[in-house]
């Protein structure tokens, strides 16, 4: 019924700086492709309906729920996942802050929370608590670890400011 | 999700011709935050054969102003509206409505056109094609409404449209109505008051199946105007509104000379509060008058057993939103 050529497409995109050519089916979501085709299982999928944020990744620097976007529509995009944060075994300051402030309990929400934090801090390096709450409002933590998560975001902001000589 | 043909439209004309080619079996996709959910759950009785991507069409992402007002391209995201200094300054009610829609993540992908074209969120309508199968209720052309005898705590408090009591879920719709916007499509200009239509079947608008929203025009408010938006939801960060409200008023010489007030989440279509608007004209906007306007807004409410609470919410939110305009 449906001609096969329109159900599968070849796309080229960059994942954590590495360019990839992938053959994707039209109905595959980005989270599915990152996990199953790219092996980046750091991107979690929980609700699969845009409501929890555990699948958060950055597309061209913008935080989005990867379970709600189609992979076929990502031609030429730059995708960043949790795996792209540490460099040569050194943790990113946001990840360090997560460790120091106990940002993770079970840790299932952490990749998504950290990606939302990364997008927030690149737009707003010194956010207020209200701004933090608004930015991570779409990321649920069923361990109810919000207090520590907010502390971790604040500490990450300070670390990054220091690193960039603003602190 | 099942497979479908996926097309990256190269122009508006291309998208329209694809819709015509796959007549009644295709949808356009903008951010996808509503559509992908419908596809995943296979909520429609017939699965679409084609999905047509609008994001590959150039020129639909612009926010600009001219003497006519604010022009929002169909693909402008809710984040872009919420963060726009121009919108915040002159069309505060719209910026606030965009800021309070869904979550930061969804606002990053969700577009303004997608927001006013989204389908209703009745949980029977949205029931996935899993145990028992998707539900062929009245809104999908079937015979029964499950919400009237079932759980209708979030449903209409102003009666039914063609036996359906699902509410319009959009947060930006009431703001665009209060601000008297015009929806520009591939075939016509539709005044926002005439845009929403639960009468059309499963869709929420008067759009033909091969018609696409290209731009939304919001006129400049007259001098002395103010607008505001409020929303009541279970979880502030992400949930749909139980009730929301937008108002735009113009004051001259201390008295209100024009007012537009709209509630949403209370009826199948967004609901203008024309009796409340008429009450305000020629009077100074005071607390007492705003409360009276709230009472009038729900005078004709016909709540069901489980949603009586929404009447009180609607009454209060109208008064509070009006007082936000007075500040
Ligand atoms: C968990 C969750 C919470 C949400 N909370 C809210 C909320 O609080 N308030 C709220 O208002 N919404 C909410 N939404 C709904 C949705 O995210 C928003 O309405 C969003 O703005 C939809 O825009 P989109 O671009 O993603 O639409 P899409 O999903 O791309 O499209 C939605 C519909 O509109 C049609 N369409 C899109 N663009 C056009 C166009 N240019 N012309 C004609 N038809 C078009 C599509 O065919 C489709 O039927 C929520 C969604 C989720 C998943
Ligand atoms: S309220 Fe409307 S959408 Fe919900 S079950 Fe009844 S007819 Fe269907
Ligand atoms: S898994 Fe994507 S938002 Fe929950
Ligand atoms: S730490 Fe367990 S979900 Fe957040």
Distance A64 CA to ligand 3 centre (A): 10
**Digit-coded pLDDT (tens) for B145-165:** 999 999 999 999 999 999 999
Chain B residues lying within 8 Å of A56, measured CB to CB: 105
Q: What is the pLDDT of residue A4?
A: 56
Which of B51, B82, B101, B103 should be substituted to probe chain A, the one whose Cβ sees the most A Cβ atoms within 10 Å?
Answer: B103
Could you give the residue range(s) of every CATH 3.10.20.30 domain in chain A? 4-84
Judged by CB atoms closer than 8 Å, whether chains meet at A50 and B105 is answered as yes
| Pocket-forming residues, ligand 4, beta carbon under 6 Å | A 104-109, 141-143, 145
Q: Could you tell me which chain B residue has the CA closest to the CA of A6?
A: B5
Q: What are A's interface residues with B at a Cβ cutoff of 8 A? A: 1-3, 6-7, 9, 25-27, 29, 48-51, 53, 56, 62-65, 68-70, 72-73, 75, 116, 133-139
CATH classification (class only), A4-84 = alpha beta
Q: Domain A93-166, what fold?
A: DNA polymerase; domain 1 (1.10.150)
User: How far does B75 lie from chain A, in Å, by closest CA?
Assistant: 15
Q: Tell me the backbone φ, ψ of residue B178, rounded to 5 degrees.
A: -60, -35
- Cβ–Cβ below 8 Å for B37 and A68: yes
Residue numbers in chain B where pLDDT is lower than 70: none
List, for residues B293-311, the tens digit of each pLDDT value: 999 999 999 999 999 999 9
Model pLDDT, residue B237: 83
Would the pTM count as exceeding 0.95? yes
Kindly indicate the confidence band of residue A1, based on its pLDDT and cuts at 50, 70 and 90. low
B86 touches chain A (CB under 8 A): no
Q: Give the ipTM.
A: 0.96
Residues on chain B touching A136 (C-beta within 8 angstroms) = 104
Beta bridge partners of B232: B243
What confidence score (pLDDT) does residue A165 get? 83
Given ligand 1 and candidates B74, B106, B119, which is best to mutate, with the most ligand atoms within 8 Å of its CB? B106
Domains and CATH numbers, chain B: 225-326 (3.30.390.50)
Specify the domain boundaries for CATH 1.10.150.120 within chain A: 93-166
């Amino acid at each position: 019924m449906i001609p096969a050529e329109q159900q599968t497409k070849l796309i080229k995109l960059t994942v954590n700086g590495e360019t990839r050519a992938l053959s994707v089916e039209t109905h595959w979501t980005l989270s599915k492709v990152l996990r199953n085709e790219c092996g980046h299982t750091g991107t979690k999928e929980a609700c699969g309906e845009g409501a929890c944020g555990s699948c958060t990744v950055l597309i061209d620097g913008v935080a989005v729920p990867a379970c709600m976007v189609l992979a076929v529509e990502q031609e030429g995009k730059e995708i960043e996942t949790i795996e792209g944060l540490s460099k040569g075994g050194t943790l990113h300051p946001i990840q360090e802050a997560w460790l120091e402030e106990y940002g993770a309990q079970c840790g299932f929400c952490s990749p998504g929370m950290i990606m939302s934090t990364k997008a927030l801090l690149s737009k707003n390096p010194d956010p207020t608590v209200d701004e933090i709450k608004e930015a991570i409002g779409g990321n649920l933590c069923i361990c109810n670890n919000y207090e520590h998560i907010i502390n971790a975001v604040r500490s990450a902001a300070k670390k990054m400011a220091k690193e960039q000589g603003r602190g | 999700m099942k497979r479908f043909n996926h097309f990256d439209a190269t122009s508006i004309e291309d998208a329209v011709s694809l819709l015509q080619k796959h007549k009644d079996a295709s949808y356009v996709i903008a951010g996808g935050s509503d559509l992908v959910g419908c596809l995943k759950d296979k909520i429609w009785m017939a699965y679409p054969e084609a999905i047509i991507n609008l994001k590959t069409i150039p020129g639909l992402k612009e926010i600009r102003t001219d003497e006519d007002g604010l022009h929002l391209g169909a693909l402008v995201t809710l984040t872009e509206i919420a963060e726009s200094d121009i919108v915040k300054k002159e069309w505060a009610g719209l910026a606030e409505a965009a800021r309070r829609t869904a979550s930061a993540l969804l606002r990053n992908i969700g577009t303004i056109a997608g927001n006013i074209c989204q389908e209703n969120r009745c949980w029977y309508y949205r029931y996935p094609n899993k145990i028992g199968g998707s539900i062929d209720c009245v809104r999908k052309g079937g015979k029964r409404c499950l919400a009237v005898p079932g759980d209708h705590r979030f449903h209409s408090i102003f009666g039914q449209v063609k036996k359906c009591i699902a509410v319009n879920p959009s947060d930006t719709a009431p703001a665009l109505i209060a601000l008297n916007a015009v929806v520009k499509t591939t075939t016509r200009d539709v005044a926002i008051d005439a845009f929403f239509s639960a009468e059309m079947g499963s869709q929420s608008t008067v759009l033909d199946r091969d018609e696409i929203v290209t731009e939304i025009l919001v006129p400049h408010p007259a001098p002395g105007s103010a607008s505001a938006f409020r929303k009541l939801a279970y979880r502030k960060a992400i949930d749909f509104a139980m009730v929301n409200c937008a108002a735009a008023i113009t004051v001259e010489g201390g008295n209100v000379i024009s007012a537009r007030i709209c509630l949403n989440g209370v009826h199948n279509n967004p609901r203008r509060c024309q009796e409340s608007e008429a009450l305000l004209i020629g009077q100074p906007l005071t607390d007492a008058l705003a409360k009276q306007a709230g009472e009038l807004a729900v005078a004709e409410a016909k709540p069901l057993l489980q949603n009586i609470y929404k009447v009180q919410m609607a009454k209060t939110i109208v008064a509070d939103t009006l007082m936000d305009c007075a500040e």
